[in-house]
């Protein structure tokens, strides 16, 4: 237990390895149950959703055992998007929501994300208390107070009905051909259903999960398949979700991909024109492109930056009353509608912009000119700390001095994978590549 249990988005790791074991899921379930059932009453409930990973069955059963052992009543939703869990936790008046997913990672990984009764992800303080309960151990309830578990078959349908309410009530998608890539993940049924019910001609890909093909050569982190499908089918637009459907990438009719920064820029401009952008700003992370910041400034709008993680974006939004935020990676948070990033919701808002303006996707996806940005990852082994190596510190300091006034440099340890992320921005692309490669080389040497 020496390592920190929670990362930037819940607990995550390789399935059947610490901390993503059945034993740890059992302990986490018991700890979360005790945390949310402090009054000892038996009317507390938790909703659990999952994506399509093979290990989801194992984690779901272990969590259920831990939760019911402390008196929580468990409602099992089956495969549903992460934002569906946030929505249903609140709408079903549950005390706790849990999503079993490792988001965009390969099937070998899995994760456990927690939502409070308001549908928002738990704070760092709440996660620390649950971690302490895991470490100290939890006394199980008396036999007469053990909780119950039941399947909720209509959870997906409730989410689909909700998500359709976020689309303009006087508009339909008739005449639009939409490629939807569900990454063989949690939205493989919900997303095509919602689009079809709104009138779209739907081309489905990534909708045949087998437990091991989630995010495999598909979805928001591998958009080539969807881009080709858009071109081959003469589609108007493509929507690429990740494994738990809280991220999105948009593909225009030519096959060109737009990331979260471009989608946020479009929404910020539209909402500002409508007078619905609260606070005159949007919230993004340190990873968002400098071009987004320049575009917003040119519109008289602000950009609030946070550390990486959509939960930190949401925390800043709630703290300062903003209603639009997200990440370059495709988490788009619109708190007028949802409590967390929702890829399908963002996709529908983009489609609404197409319908209302009559413009093709290509004219809506390139809102600003990006500043050249380069990101490279270096994998390291458990117990290593390559960023603490003297040579790594020296090359970073030198690079920062060279970039001063010319661009940005961001180096960080991933909160979800054993990776060091090296990112830089600079108008001079040759210099940009040189800076990143120098730092990567030293980090690789330090990581062996």
Cα(377)–Cα(154) distance, rounded to whole angstroms? 41
Find the helix or strand (DSSP H, E) in which 257 lies. strand 257-258
Both structure tokens of 404 = 């001063």
Q: How far is CA 230 from CA 226, 238, 240, 307, 349, in A?
A: 6, 6, 11, 34, 19
Paired tokens of 343 = 């890829």
Q: How many whole angstroms separate alpha carbon 429 and alpha carbon 140?
A: 59
Residue in this structure with the two tokens 């000892």, named with its chain if needed: 40
Contact in structure between 356 and 171 (CB atoms under 8 Å): yes
3-state secondary structure 18-79: CCECHHHHHHHHHHHHHHHCCCCCCCCEEEEEECCCCCHHHHHHHHHHHHHHCCCEEEEEEE
Task: Clarify whether 103 is annotated catalytic.
Answer: yes
Q: Give DSSP secondary structure letters for 282-328.
A: EEEETTS-HHHHHHHHHTT-EEEEE-SSHHHHHHHHHHHT--EEE-T
Question: Do the Cβ atoms of 138 and 30 come closer than 8 Å?
Answer: yes
Among the options 55, 69, 103, 220, which is catalytic?
A: 103
Q: Give the full edge-to-edge strand order of the sheet including 149-151.
A: 11-14, 109-115, 96-100, 45-50, 73-79, 149-151
228-231-234 Cα angle (round to 5): 140
Nearest to 276 by CA among 301, 293, 312, 249: 301
Q: How far apart are CA 248 and CA 269, in angstroms?
A: 19
N- to C-terminal Cα separation, the chain:
25
Q: Given its phi and psi angles, is residue 428 left (phi above 0), alpha (psi -120 to 50 degrees) or beta?
A: beta
Cα separation of 111 and 105, whole Å? 10
Please give the angle made by the CA atoms of 264, 254 and 286, to the nearest 5 degrees: 25
* Positions marked active-site: 103
């Amino acid at each position: 237990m020496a390592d920190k249990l929670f990362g930037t988005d819940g607990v995550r790791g390789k399935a059947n390895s610490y901390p993503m074991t059945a034993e740890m899921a059992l302990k986490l379930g018991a700890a979360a149950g005790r945390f949310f059932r402090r009054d000892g009453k038996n009317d507390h409930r938790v909703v659990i959703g999952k994506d399509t990973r093979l290990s989801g069955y194992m984690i779901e059963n272990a969590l259920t055992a831990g939760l019911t052992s402390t008196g929580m009543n468990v409602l099992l939703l089956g495969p549903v998007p992460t934002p569906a869990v946030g929505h249903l936790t609140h709408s079903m008046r549950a005390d706790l929501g849990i999503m079993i997913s490792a988001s965009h990672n390969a099937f070998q990984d899995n994760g456990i994300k927690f939502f409070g009764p308001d549908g928002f992800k738990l704070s760092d303080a709440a996660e620390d208390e649950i971690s302490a309960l895991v470490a100290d151990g939890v006394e199980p309830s008396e036999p007469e107070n053990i909780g119950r578990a039941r399947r909720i078959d209509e959870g997906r349908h409730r989410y689909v009905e909700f998500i359709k309410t976020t689309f303009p009530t006087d508009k339909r998608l008739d005449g639009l051909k939409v490629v939807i890539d569900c990454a063989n993940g949690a939205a493989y049924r919900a997303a095509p259903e919602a689009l079809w019910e709104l009138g779209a001609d739907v081309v489905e890909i990534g909708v045949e999960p087998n437990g091991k093909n989630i995010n495999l050569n598909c979805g928001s982190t591998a958009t080539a398949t969807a881009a080709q499908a858009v071109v081959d089918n003469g589609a108007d637009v493509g929507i690429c979700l990740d494994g738990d459907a809280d991220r999105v990438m948009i593909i225009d009719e030519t096959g060109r991909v737009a990331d979260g920064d471009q989608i946020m820029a479009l929404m910020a401009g539209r909402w500002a024109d409508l007078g619905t952008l609260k606070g005159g700003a949007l919230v993004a992370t340190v990873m968002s492109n400098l071009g987004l910041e320049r575009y917003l400034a040119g519109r008289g709008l602000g950009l609030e930056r946070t550390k990486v993680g959509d939960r930190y974006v949401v925390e800043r939004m709630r703290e300062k009353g903003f209603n639009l935020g997200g990440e370059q990676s495709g988490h788009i948070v619109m708190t007028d509608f949802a409590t967390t990033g929702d890829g399908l919701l963002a996709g529908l808002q983009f489609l609404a912009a197409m319908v209302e303006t009559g413009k093709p996707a290509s004219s809506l996806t390139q809102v600003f000119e990006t500043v050249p940005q380069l990101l490279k990852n270096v994998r390291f082994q458990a117990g290593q700390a390559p960023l603490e190596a003297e040579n790594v510190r020296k090359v970073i300091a030198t690079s920062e001095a060279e970039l001063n006034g010319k661009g940005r440099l961001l180096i960080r340890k991933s909160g979800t994978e054993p990776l060091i992320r090296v990112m830089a921005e600079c108008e001079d692309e040759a210099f940009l590549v040189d800076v990143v490669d120098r730092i990567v080389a030293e980090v690789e040497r330090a990581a062996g």
